[in-house]
Chains A and B, each alone.
Chain A
Amino acid sequence: MEESSSSTRSGEQREKMKKVLEKTVKKRSKEEQEEQEDEIFNFNNKCTEEEEEEREENLSDSEDSVFSGLEDSGSDSADDEDEEEEGSDHNGAENDDEDLKIEEEEKKKMMGPVTEKKEDEYKQDSSDEEDIRNTVGNIPMEWYKDFPHIGYNLDGKKIYKPIRNKDELDEFLDKMEDPNYWRTVHDKQTGSDIVLSDEQVALVNRLQRGQFGDVDFNEYQPQVEFFSQDVMLHPVTNRPADKRSFIPSLIEKQKVSKLVHAIKMGWIKPRRTEDASRGRYYDLWANEDSSILAKHKMHLPAPKIPLPGHQESYNPPPEYLFTDEERALWEQQDASDRKLPFVPMRFSSLRQVPAFPRFLHERFERCLDLYLCPRQRKMRVNVNPEDLIPKLPKPRDLQPFPTTQSLVYRGHSGLVRSISVSPSGQWLASGSDDGSVRFWEVRSSRCMGTVQVGGAVKSIAWNPNPLLCLLAVAQGSVVLILSPSLADRQVVLSTERLLSGQQEAESTEEAGPVTWSDMEGEELSHGIRLKIQHPKAVHQVTWHAKGDYLASVMPDHSSHLQVFIHQVSRRRSQNPFRKNKGLVQCVSFHPVRPYFFVGTQRSVRIYNLVKQEMTKKLQANSKWISSMAVHPGGDHVICGSYDCRLSWFDLDLSTKPYKMLRHHKKAVRGVAHHRLYPLFASASDDGSVIVCHGTVYSDLLQNPLIVPVKVLRGHVITHDLGVLDVTFHPTQPWIFSSGADATIRLFT
């Protein structure tokens, strides 16, 4: 070992010395090295006998190249390491392992020639004794660098260095010229060059290949099996058999019994038999049973998905595409409000159509619908709308009735609240908010006279007695009795007589809540004859059919003094009610019998004036009654209300309305019956007057026939008020209406 290590050191030393020369060769060697690497790898891979010659040559080159390559690269790459192994004889050790290897190899190389020589030496010495010619031991040989010798032999004599050290040039020349250069090895310890024999080179090659050094050694000898299938005569070991090898295992038994128990109990199943019928289809409906079908009657199949329309096409007609506004609207709308769940789009060809992004959502929603939506049978009404319209007698068959507007009476400056026609049908009186009462001639629409009463006129009523010519006017808390003297002389005279006859009785009257007084001076010249002072504002006046009695209404919540009945001939007033039964809206006398109708807010009460008791109470089914009219027969009443309704009561039938008519769009202000013709009319804030035909049959079993025959329009709506009052001509099928536009219109 000493020797080898020393040799390596001497090598290193030499290498240093050679550095200068080597640099010149470096470039060439590098190139060579690269070439060699490839080749070397090739060798490592396939080292066949045939190529041995070639390899020998190569090896010579490689040695050199490795030599120089190591110098500059410092063997930092893996390739270099490989090379080291190749030309390991000169290498300085990098790692310990490598060091060892190399040393061994070197030793063996050294052994080659030694074994040849020293066949006899083995006999003398022990086999592991080294060949010691230089006794300096395992020291760095550079220590002898400056001496002429390099050590001492066994006899203690100096071993001199060879006389002439080869320099680089010599080396180079040797390399170039000497054919044995590649197999020349430098012995550092003796300083001599040794030429390796063929056997030695072969040995080195074998070792490099990782083979045994001995050529004759067979690596692949057949193995002798110790335990074999052949039954031996004698046991291999003499150990007695374990007890467990012949006694059945308790644990195993427990496990098995557990499993068996579990199988018995059905907890675990011993390998399921593959159910062959799964996933196999057969004729499920082979025997259709009608009994099941009958059971199935109540089943509601899910509705199918609606089929797509033109909008859903990938290439719809252009009119189905959204305009910008529609698109903006679509985007603004909530998903549930949209008419279409998608935006129609147009693609010029099929290949441009993309996937629909909400496809999965829609399918999922359908699934949800199928199992989460309550289903209900919906009866689809398949009705022809024409069939719904009731079959009524044609209006043409129900003539006469007013159809066209023929005259307009202008002159008032305020809204005309109330109108009344004289019993002869020649004169029309109207009271307006401008504080005047005007008399018109019906046929010519001429204003025959104007009476200023000094306040808004709430109500006006012409005495129905044709032998008198009197007019009652409600203004503020006063009821005025006018005598317009627009009649025959006889009539005027009889009126005068009636009014003057009262004066005697006047003195006897004691002072009550109502005071009667005669008018004098200018007012008398206007025709105002009497003034009946009331405690509160009067809203309505109405005459009894005979023309002697007059009723006035003062709506008030808190008092029972709401209605007064005045007798003109005796200048007497009385309050028929002791109790307040609600806000009185309007009153009316029965045309023939001694009944008195009082319309309160929700109902109409009918009093018998003779017996002094209430006979009936009609429920109007409306929120607020505005007006009331009694049929000339006296068995039917119509009520208009502020909630747009008109109710027709049949007094013989029920206290509930026989018919509710919702013809008007706005509050009903006035209603009227015709005295002779079967007509009634209602006026409303929507500016229309609706004339209806209402035949009443004397036969009690037959219900009245009510048919609307005409909608009359003409009044202009001012301040949200339309037509305020309506009244029929006493003899002709004509109708007068007064409106908020300060006009009175005649429809014929």
Chain B
Amino acid sequence: MGGLQKKKYERGSVTNYITRNKARKKLQLSLPDFRRLCILKGIYPHEPKHKKKVNKGSTAPRTFYLLKDIRFLLHEPIVGKFREYKVFVRKLKKAYGKTEWSAVERLKENKPAYKLDHIVKERYPSFIDALRDIDDALCMSFLFSTFARTGKCHVQTIQLCRRLTVEWMNYVIASRSLRKVFISIKGIYYQAEVMGQLITWLVPYQFSHDHPTDVDYRVMATFTELYTTLLGFINFRLYHSLNLLYPPKLDIKAESELKEEDDEDYAMNSESYLEKLSALSTSLARVVSTEEEEEAELDKFPDEEEDLEKMEAREMEQKQQEAQKKLFEGLKIFLNREVPRESLAFLIRCFGGEVSWDKSVCIGSAYEVTDETITHQIVDRPNIDKQYINRYYIQPQWVFDCVNAKLLLPVEDYFLGVTLPPHLSPFVEEKEGDYVPPEKLKILALQRGEKPVQEEEEEEDDEEEEEDDEEEEEEDDEEVEEKSLKKMEEQRSQGKSLPVKVTPGKVKVDNPARLEQEEKAEEKRLAIMMMKKKEKYLYDKIMFGKKRTIRETNKLTAKRKAHDDAEKSKKKKTRK
């Protein structure tokens, strides 16, 4: 038997993978640089199917990259820039060591810099791709824009993030594309629909961060670098899609109005424009200054007769959306000092409301508290001294709940000092069998245009309970029957000791429907026994999941019921 001996691990899947260290050596980069490159280029490790084979027989934990990916990185111009930067740092250190200040200056002037435009283009070849991936970019930018201007990262980065986020918010206002908001304990979630893409971002509350030590800011900064570039290009494109100027300009009328105020005392000249933008109080200038463009009515194409229903549904949805866009139109809202101005101003402007605030809070307030035409004042304190009769004093949650409910909710529940109704997540879409909190049901009823009647609901609840009870009873019956049967059987078997006695038997009424049901259930059970192993596993898994949801639902309902009962009893006590 001639021929060369086949060497192990030279064929097959092992040739497709490369370990991280090897990849690093191949690229001649240090680990931080390699990380940075991976982040920028969007290269992530791959898990081989047979780890041991790829790992050449060893079971040591290693991260594997696809060899193709690493080859792709080899031709990246940025790698060269990284190396240049390394050299630059070395030279700079040397110059410092020799105290050659002129050299230091010269080197600093020639600090190598790189652009990420081509990477963005490469990673997101189409605009929609980029838009789809913008969630993280927005979250990160909003986070960085809340950082203090000292310490953890460059001031320029923070400023850039702030600028981009302000631009984004202005775009969302201009396009009226916000759909949902949610105040969570982490921050405020917003969801906008831009060009058919649902984009969700999270804005932290405006507090200073106590920077944890176990977070690597270099990684975050690298991500931010990429994200700011991406966000900038997206903003540019989005602004142009709306015929807005980019970088954003305030509307000329509005600008002149703003200029009347003496804003020198508010901010430095260089910053004041961004501040004015971030006030979110004025509309933006358009390239072609036209009045509100009439939305072109979409022509209706009756494609197929089957789709008619769908079409109708879609139309309905569109109408609803249009209505939502004009939710706050005609309202004149004033924000008190203590409410988060930016988020509320953003919301109200997104849905066409007029909003203003105290002059000392921010630039760009349109009217004073004393304005008689104000319809709502948003207050987040237990009471307020001077109240105007012709306006509602409401808590900020009202705005958020209105947006999510897509209609103006009754203000009574949100008055000052009133215990607020629970704030529900608009992102939860309950499927059949999931738990639906009663508040959601109420809102759904309102959306359907029904009047909220509390008693009815209670009755419904009662009915449901009764049904449950019935079922339980049935089960109980069964059990009882079985028990009696068993007893009888025992007695029969021990017949010798039993005194022979004939008792009038009860007529057993067979419930044909029930019998049928039982039969079907048994049939199913037997069929399940005959399932193949694989399918059985899958089936069991699905059923387990279903059972778990049912269990959770039951648990939640039970908890709610207990809570409501406790509340009721408390109320009764107080009444007494």
Query: Which A residues have a C-beta under 8 Å from some C-beta of B?
Result: 268-269, 271-272, 275, 277-279, 281-285, 288-289, 292-293, 295-296, 301-302, 304-305, 307-310, 312-320, 323, 342, 344-345, 347-351, 353-357, 359-364, 366-368, 370-376, 381, 383, 385, 388-392, 394-396, 408, 410, 661-663, 690, 706-711, 743
Contacts and interface: CB of A to CB of B under 8 A. Distances in A.
Contact of B204 (A316, A347, A356): A356
A388 B542 CA distance: 11
B39 A371 contact: yes
A285 B530 contact: no
Nearest to B380: A351
B412 interface: no
Contact of A292 (B125, B235, B420): B125
B425 A310 contact: yes
Given A312-B186, A392-B530, A317 B125 contact: no
Given A370-B44, A709-B526, 4 more contacts: A305-B136, A316-B422, A317-B422, A711-B526
B353 interface: no
A708 B39 CA distance: 58
B573 to A, nearest CB: 18
Given A281-B233, A707-B530, A302 B110 contact: no
A360 B185 contact: no
- Which of B186, B207, B223, B559 has the most chain A CB atoms inside 10 A of its CB? B186
A288 B46 CA distance: 29
B232 A281 contact: yes
A354 B204 CA distance: 10
B277 interface: no
Given A356-B204, A368-B219, A313 B423 contact: yes
Mostly, the A contact residues are: loop
A408 B489 CA distance: 9
Contact of B556 (A268, A320, A390, A708): A320
Interface string B125-153: 11101101101100110010000000000
A282 B183 contact: no
A288 B538 CA distance: 43
A376 B113 CA distance: 34
B216 A364 contact: yes
B46 A383 contact: no
A277 B422 CA distance: 50
B504 to A, nearest CB: 23
Nearest to A280: B232
B126 A288 contact: yes
A410 B495 CA distance: 10
A389 B539 contact: yes
Contacts of A316: 422-424
A107 B12 CA distance: 114
A348 B397 CA distance: 11
A281 B246 contact: yes
Given A308-B182, A350-B396, A363-B140, A388 B539 contact: yes
Contact of A319 (B38, B43, B437, B519): B437
B488 to A, nearest CB: 12
Nearest to B200: A307
A355 B538 contact: no
Contacts of A743: 493
Contact of B519 (A271, A396, A707): A396
What's the interface size class on B, roughly?
Answer: 35 or more
B576 interface: no
Contact of B560 (A271, A319, A381, A395): A319
A685 B380 CA distance: 69
Closest 8 A-B residue pairs measured CB to CB? A307-B427, A355-B207, A319-B560, A292-B125, A374-B47, A319-B559, A312-B184, A317-B422
Contact of A351 (B44, B338, B526): B338
Interface in B520-556: 522-533, 535, 538-539, 542-543, 546, 556
Interface string B219-259: 11001000000001101110010000010000000000000
B29 interface: no
B428 interface: yes
Interface stretch (B114-122, B287-295, B308-316, B383-391): B114-122
A319 B527 contact: no
B237 A283 contact: yes
B556 A350 contact: no
Given A356-B187, A708-B530, A371 B339 contact: no
B183 A314 contact: yes
A317 B542 CA distance: 29
A269 to B, nearest CB: 5
A501 B556 CA distance: 82
Contacts of B4: none
B540 to A, nearest CB: 9
Contacts of B185: 312-314, 342, 344-345, 347, 353, 356
Contacts of B538: 381, 383, 388
B454 interface: no
A312 B219 contact: no
B563 interface: yes
B189 interface: yes
B187 A372 contact: no
A357 B211 CA distance: 10
A572 to B, nearest CB: 45
B77 interface: no
B45 A374 contact: yes
Nearest to A384: B542
Contacts of B524: 389
Nearest to B567: A318
A164 to B, nearest CB: 78
Contacts of B211: 360
A359 B125 contact: no
Contacts of A301: 129, 132-133
A663 B536 CA distance: 12
A271 B106 CA distance: 7
B80 interface: no
B439 interface: yes
Contacts of B519: 396
Contacts of B219: 364, 367-368, 371
Given A350-B380, A364-B215, A371 B38 contact: yes
Given A351-B338, A356-B204, A410-B493, A282 B422 contact: no
A704 to B, nearest CB: 13
A310 B560 CA distance: 14
Interface string B89-112: 000000000000000001001100
Given A304-B200, A349-B395, A285 B489 contact: no
A345 B184 CA distance: 10
6 contacts: A296-B129, A309-B428, A318-B563, A351-B339, A707-B526, A711-B526
A392 B39 contact: no
B155 to A, nearest CB: 14
Given A359-B187, A389-B539, A348 B420 contact: yes
A345 B422 CA distance: 12
A348 B135 contact: no
Contact of A348 (B110, B214, B419): B419
Contacts of A383: 538, 542
Contacts of A662: 533
Interface in B171-227: 182-187, 189, 200, 204-205, 207, 209-212, 214-216, 219-220, 223
Nearest to A363: B143
Contacts of B200: 304-305, 307
Contacts of A359: 143, 186-187, 204, 209
A353 B413 CA distance: 20
Contacts of B205: 353-356
- Which of B39, B189, B215, B489 has the most chain A CB atoms inside 10 A of its CB? B215
A662 to B, nearest CB: 8
B24 interface: no
A385 to B, nearest CB: 5
A349 B416 CA distance: 10
Nearest to B395: A349
A285 B427 contact: no
